Structure 1
């Protein structure tokens, strides 16, 4: 039914859907940040922790919904895999790079060191699990259990940070608890609905040019499902709430691996092989894409350690690396 209406609308109609969904993403990000920061102030929880949990969960829901649909309905595991790899690359290369260009991201390295180590560890673990071409239920359950352990440790042993609330307006009146929760819930809903509509129309447009499903997942789908992170982080950068921005991105990448791929793998095993460019009838494992994802996670260590900030020069490096990767991806498609 949805495909029928997409064909009926044609290219102009699908472009209009993209524009409408972009507005949903923007307002969803605004309300999610407002509700999340308000909850942080109310319970004296650092915005960084809120970014790693409430905001990360809300902005990771589009990846889960799209990957779940692609796997169980479209029977396209390569879109699911490409979506997560591409989203994690986009989160660091495009979104963090762009956020740093807008306003340098100030953060104590000690406050993100453990999260970065955990992100790199689960990325390597996913690579080990996936290298045989499948992600089975046992491996999926391990990833999901790691997510619960990570959240428990985060709330029980939050790292100390000297700049917890320095960039949050402490004079703004607090909303009622129900209003804050409603903003978080409504923001997450708008983000998911906006990203879903954006991705569905993006896939329809891309398929008119006979682009491979892995490439669609790595590029258009990944960008579409990362739009919530983009909107959230850009708004946070404009408000100079840099802790929330980087916490959101690190948390989203962790959630993408543990919650999205782990959850879907637990429901039903995933096949992670994609057609070869040289011989489409042959399936191969996307080693290069995994290595690039790991590289973007690893580069955060020297960037954040240097002067305890990710400045505009580092942002340019991240953004430039992202553009080079996707330029090669387009060139080879």
Structure 2
């Protein structure tokens, strides 16, 4: 039964992602907001809701390992799997925005803050509140930078349509429900299978839950690339990772202080740092191609190989 649920949930993810991209284009066109900013805010927050739900539920039940592992794994999968696959299949990606000079700080700063907070072995409620403040500063930065650049590659059919708030809200809501609901059922069915095999909470959070909750980012990013919106795909990942550290980890820590064992999870933390540095390298050298994809997927292979050896 779990396998049937998994397949149905994947179908919901795909259809939901298409709704999200289409309605995000309409909103971008109506308000003259760049696709990058839409991807880094509206789409990123929506696709980060599964991570938030999973980590907050885990925190509420006192399962710190699962809550933290979900965030660590999601960031790793977002960078290595999602962007790796996107770069491999995209025919051409030439974002107008200078992603390295404008957005590289938001790739590395949340990671550095996370490691500093985790040095004492826990992420307290005060740390959680500081993470949420970081989210506020990210939003201020995004909408401030948007004034300097407007996305001009808008779907011509959408440009001819009259904007309808009610229709957009309903369709966007349907998209998020299908995408997030699909991800939740993927996680639930996958977790049931894992628990029957007696897998640890850290591994469940690091792989099954984080992989499942990263599926919305993967599907949405692939649909965005297919529609020719490379900036939305990259913005979705950068924004999702900021949201994972700030809203997801911060929200979970506000519910219950989280314990973090850096020594016991050092390889996973090294992969987390390596993936973030690799993304910086890709942005700096504009490796939005198969070379960049292979680079990121190699890190993913090392991550998976170490976990199951």
Give the shorter-chain TM-score range.
Answer: over 0.9
Greater relative contact order structure (CA < 8 Å, 6+ sep):
2
Are the aligned partners of 1:91 and 1:226 in contact in 2 as well (CA < 8 Å)? yes
Cα offsets for 1:214-252 (capped at 9, x unmatched): 111111111100000011011112222111100001100
Instruction: Give unpaired runs (5+ residues) of structure 2.
Output: none
How far apart in 1 are the matches of 2:182 and 2:136? Answer: 27
Are the aligned partners of 2:106 and 2:238 in contact in 1 as well (CA < 8 Å)? no
Aligned to 1:27: 15
How far apart in 1 are the matches of 2:288 and 2:280? Answer: 10
Note closer, same or farther for the CA distance 1:149–1:143 as it changes in structure 2 (3 Å cut).
same
Are the aligned partners of 1:143 and 1:259 in contact in 2 as well (CA < 8 Å)? yes
Note closer, same or farther for the CA distance 1:305–1:49 as it changes in structure 2 (3 Å cut).
same
Aligned to 1:36: 24
Aligned to 1:10: none
Which one of 70, 82, 107 corresponds to residue 95 of structure 2? 107
Which one of 154, 159, 169 corresponds to residue 181 of structure 1? 169
1:213, CA displacement in angstroms? 1.0
Which one of 141, 144, 152 corresponds to residue 140 of structure 2? 152
Aligned to 2:152: 165
1:161, CA displacement in angstroms? 4.8
1:109, CA displacement in angstroms? 6.2
1:122, CA displacement in angstroms? 1.0
1:1-333 paired onto structure 2 within 5 Å: 13-73=1-61, 75-103=62-90, 104-108=92-96, 110-158=98-146, 160-161=148-149, 164-166=151-153, 168-172=154-158, 173-174=160-161, 175-273=163-261, 284-306=263-285, 308-331=286-309
Cα offsets for 1:135-182 (capped at 9, x unmatched): 1010000010111121122112337458x233x313433341221222
1:26, CA displacement in angstroms? 1.0
Q: TM-score, normalised by structure 2?
A: 0.93
1:212, CA displacement in angstroms? 1.1
Cα offsets for 1:285-316 (capped at 9, x unmatched): 4222222112211112222222x351111111
1:264, CA displacement in angstroms? 1.4
How far apart in 2 are the matches of 1:139 and 1:315? Answer: 34
Instruction: Give unpaired runs (5+ residues) of structure 1.
Output: 1-12, 275-283
The list of structure 1 runs, each at least 4 consecutive aligned residues, that deviate by more than 6 angstroms after superposition, is: none
1:16, CA displacement in angstroms? 0.9
How far apart in 2 are the matches of 1:289 and 1:40? Answer: 37
Q: TM-score, normalised by structure 1?
A: 0.87
How far apart in 2 are the matches of 1:253 and 1:93? Answer: 12
1:115, CA displacement in angstroms? 2.3
How far apart in 1 are the matches of 2:107 and 2:283? Answer: 14
Report SS of the residue matched to 2:98: helix
How far apart in 2 are the matches of 1:317 and 1:310? Answer: 11
How far apart in 1 are the matches of 2:307 and 2:4? Answer: 27
